[in-house]
Amino acid sequence: MLKRYTKPPMDSVWVEQAKFDQWVESLLAVLYARVQKRQIDQESFDLISQSVDVNVERVHELDKEFQHDAQALIETVRESLRAAGINEMTTALMGARITSYDMEDPAFGVLIVKSLDLILLELEKLLITLKARASEFRRTKCIFMTHGQPAVPGFLGIKFCRWIASFERDRQWIRQARENIRVGKFSGAGGTYDELDPDIEEIACKRLGLEADEASSQIIQRDRHARVMTALAICACNISQAANELWGMCSYPRNEAREYFSPTQRGSSAMPHKKNPIKLEQLRGMSSPMRSYAMAALEHIMTWDERAIDQSSTERIIWPDATTLVHYMLTTLRETVGKMIFYPKRMQANLDYLQGIWAAQYVKNVLWDKGVFELKFFESGFEEPNRKCEILPTYKWIQLCAFVAWDQSTNQPVKPLRAVLIDQGIEIYLDEEELDPCFDLNHILRNADVIYSRFGI
């Protein structure tokens, strides 16, 4: 976990002390369950639970000797009990009748659930921010882009609605994945309950806030973990998608938005005039490692026989990093969007600059609706004498009109599309009442409120 990309309170979930403490909670859960089944006495459990202590440095020392951190943890805990004056018979109960992953996997599930709860909380906050900004710009007109080219008019608020929909799906999938991973196991080295009975597992898991796994081997099957990781990776990709769109609005020559730039901030080491959208660029790139983490989690669904250690080393890297990174991405996107500056006048200017060329498809469709599938295209205009013309399909005709409006040699609009249509004799086919809606933004965007209403906006 890089401190640069770690936000509180996630920074406290995966620290080593928290992990070892949760391992101890697994050990205590087994003892608690055995007390309930009267296999050990309450006094012994009370002595252990009140005296147990985890010294991380001592765990490291013993791990160098044992080459097994689970055994190092158990022995460290036993040492703390002996130091408290507890007899060896009672001390030996800690870690008895379980394999290492009876301790580690339930603790792992608890830590993942804790991290997902923090991620879900940030998702909720982000959705509130996105809905507020969607409402703020529900009537702010702009040009929507496809393939890097101006496409059709829209409202800025609708862009926010798309992101809201994506993050609501993320929330649903992460919640489902959270329930799927909220399981534990105390079924022994082969998953056959050869040391502890299934009812011990049920009681111990319940104490930890988990459900007992239906069938495990020495470990909980890793498809559960892969489901969580893929849900997180998709969420990260949705964050990058939103960041990329906002970055495009900040770029020159659109200049429709700007990431907040503090008075003390520096945008470039060389160029003092720069106000680079650095947070958005961070977020665009961060989905890349998340996709890699998802691939690693998918690869480790496969396990050799009942257990091999293949996935263990990878999981120690990807889970703290992935959950911390997604939490950072959500928090950073929320903070960036909340303070981002948008320029409606610039959006309107960019829309006006196109001089109605975006109406070409609407004119085409109205002509088709009237049964007009061929038109005469006049080389020098409908009113010019000795004009030459050719008969073209409707699509090709309106395309050429658009190419006249947007000069191909200078790559910029030179004449309003409506004026070009009039030059070409559009009134022969459509009167003003039929043509007006094609250029009327209120008509084109008449259904926007249907979209907003789906999100309570």
Q: 427: how many CB neighbours lie within 10 A of its CB?
A: 13
How many angstroms separate the CA atoms of 23 and 193, rounded? Answer: 20
Does the active-site annotation cover 68?
A: no
How many angstroms separate the CA atoms of 101 and 13, rounded? Answer: 19
Q: 361: how many CB neighbours lie within 10 A of its CB?
A: 14
The pair phi, psi for residue 324, each rounded to 5°, is: -65, -40
- Which of 147, 262, 269, 453 is flagged as catalytic? 147
Is residue 52 a contact partner of residue 79, using CB atoms and an 8 Å limit?
no
Q: Give Cβ neighbours of residue 101 (< 8 Å, ≥ 6 apart).
A: 185, 218, 219, 220, 307
Produce one character per residue of 246-273: b if its CB has 16 or more CB atoms within 10 Å, e if not.
Answer: bbebbeeebebbebebeeeeeeeeeeee
SS3 117: helix
Q: Give Cβ neighbours of residue 335 (< 8 Å, ≥ 6 apart).
A: 279
Residue 203 structure tokens? 């009681």
What is the separation of C-alpha 83 from the centre of its chain, rounded to a whole number of angstroms? Answer: 48
SS3 26: helix
Q: What is the dihedral of CA 279, 283, 284, 287, to 10 degrees?
A: 170
Is residue 19 a contact partner of residue 189, using CB atoms and an 8 Å limit?
no
The pair phi, psi for residue 162, each rounded to 5°, is: -60, -45
- Which of 12, 251, 268, 380 is flagged as catalytic? 268
How many angstroms separate the CA atoms of 242 and 284, rounded? Answer: 8
Q: How many residues does the chain have?
A: 457
Residue 147 structure tokens? 């393939």
Does the active-site annotation cover 147?
A: yes
The residues carrying an active-site annotation are 147, 268
